Every structure is written in structure tokens, then in C-alpha cells.
Amino acid sequence: MKTQPNLKNLEELVAQSMEKTWTESEAHAATTLQQMFEYQTEATALLRKINRKKRGHWHIRQAMSIAASVLVLIAIGFGVHKYKHVNRVDAVYADVSTSYGETKIVSLPDGTTVTLNACSHISYLNNFDGDERRVKLEGEAYFEVARNKKQPFIIAVNQFDVNVLGTEFNVKAYHNDKIHTVDVNSGKVQVDMADATIRLVAQEHLAVDLLGSSYNKYKEPQTIAGWRKGELHFNRAPIRDVANELERIYHCKIEFKQGQVFDNYISGQHANPNLEAVLQSLEYTSGIHYKLNKNQVLLYK
């Protein structure tokens, strides 16, 4: 009787196929850096699908099929990466980053303006000569996108793509935050996730819970990207996401007292004069106390 491979040895089987996949994929290597972005985005979506399916009941052959597709896409992506280094005259891959407490304004080749928040990173090509304008974002940024009906503007983040023609909106997608958000200031925005497509208009907001694999769309007049003015704005943000944001802004280290449960959700707007003022406000509204020693913070109940 034939035995079916199981999820336990899936990674081993995939690893054994990697060398063969690499060789085969080089024959199909992409010819533009724009395609590299597309392959990387599709590979990420397929990997998310594997992770979701592992939690439920499914047929192992489906896993092998998806895993093989991921390998091909990744290998082709590396092929493009090699291509990039020998064709820098035609296309340059630009990267802009910010550090703790730093913001930065970036002008893209199409006239789009991007304002990066602290500890953020954006990657893009020095020209958008394909069917779309695609950038990759890790962190938070406010986009003022130059309108072009014939060439959609796409922001690829870890869990979804944001697709627009010309509009203003904020995307927050730090890898260590539980909640990723999209807030629209004007125009229309389409968010493409692995299992859903959400459309947003002005003053509509989308919160994607990465751990709970859920999302919430709502409409509410509020300050969008108040961080550009030095403000802090939280709308039912998990306390640990709030701590992450304070670390990025003030270059501090925040720890939670061991043995205590911190499941608070924080809402409110702060003028953000300094770290201790924010911690005092947090203590008043949530009941979570703090000890501050230089740039070290301990939160406790």
C-alpha cells in the first residue's frame, strides 16, 4: 500500500526539490525588476496559504503543489535579483529607510510623495515603465499618489497589497505589530488580501488582525497620519502595539511584567510632548502602571 507524505516531512521533501527547482527556473527568469516584485508578492501569498491550511484538514498533495509553486517563484525572483546587478544602467533599485524617532519625505519617479514614519523602509524602481507602479513597504507611510488611470499604484506589504490610481492614505504595517491598518484621507483604495478584497473611500478604515486572521472595516471621522504633526493616535490598538510604537518614536525599551496578562486595547489621541507624559496618560486611561529608568520602561498592573 502506498503511504501518503504528511505535513511533518513536507519541509524535507520541499528542501530536496529546491536544487532541481532552481535549475529549472533559471530558464524562465524574469526580465524586469517589476516582475521580481510580482513574484515575491505571489510567493508571500502562497506561503500564507500554506500556513493557513496547516491549521485545518487538507490533502497533502495540495501542500506539495503550493510549496512547489513557491519554490519556482522564489527561484525566479533570485534570477531577477542576479539580472538586476548586471543591468543597473537601465534600472536602479532604490531603498529608503528611517531610524528611531525619524520621519522622511520621499519623492518617487511618477511624482508621488511618500512620508515615512519612524523605523520604516520603502523599496522602489527608479522608473515605472511597466503596467503598474509597485513599491514595497515595511513600517508606516503616508502616500500622496500621483493619479494615473493607465498605471495603478500598488503598495506591497507583508499580508496584503494596496491598489490605487491616485489618492491620499496611510498604511501601517510593522512586522512586529498585531494590527495592520489602512486609513483613507481622499479618493478610493482597494486592499487585496489572500482571501478577500476590500474597497475603501475617504474616512474609511481597515484594521487587519494578523494573529486572529480577521479584519474590520469601519467609517469614522478621525485624524489620519497625525504622526506627521508629532501626534499619537490609537483606535482600539493592542497595548503591545502601543508599546512597539513608543519604542520606535522614543528609542526606548518597554517590557511587560512577567506573570501578568496584558490584553488591554488603547484608544485616544495624545499631543506627544515626551515619553513620560504619554506613559502618564496611558496609566490614567488603562490602569497600567509604569516604572521609567532612563530609556527603560517596565509596565505592570
pLDDT at 117: 98
pLDDT at 269: 86
Record the pTM. Answer: 0.72
Which residue ranges of the chain lie beneath pLDDT 50?
1-5, 7-8, 10, 13-15, 17-33, 53-60, 63-64, 70-89
Task: List the grid coordinates of 111.
Answer: 511624482
Q: What helix, strand, coil percent values describe the chain, rounded to 5?
A: 30, 35, 35
The single residue listed with the C-alpha cell 480577521 is 214
Q: In which element (H, E) is residue 242 found? A: helix 239-250
Query: With contact defined as beta carbons under 8 Å apart, do 30 and 79 qualify?
Result: yes
Round to whole Å and give the CA distance between 287 and 97. Answer: 35
- Tell me the three state secondary structure of residue 73: helix
Beta 133-144 vs 153-156: how paired, if at all?
parallel
The single residue listed with the C-alpha cell 511584567 is 257
pLDDT at 37: 52
Inter-residue long-range contacts of 286-289, CB under 8 Å, 24+ positions, other chains counted: 286/239, 288/239, 288/262, 288/264
pLDDT at 159: 87
pLDDT at 86: 40
pLDDT at 48: 53
pLDDT at 5: 47
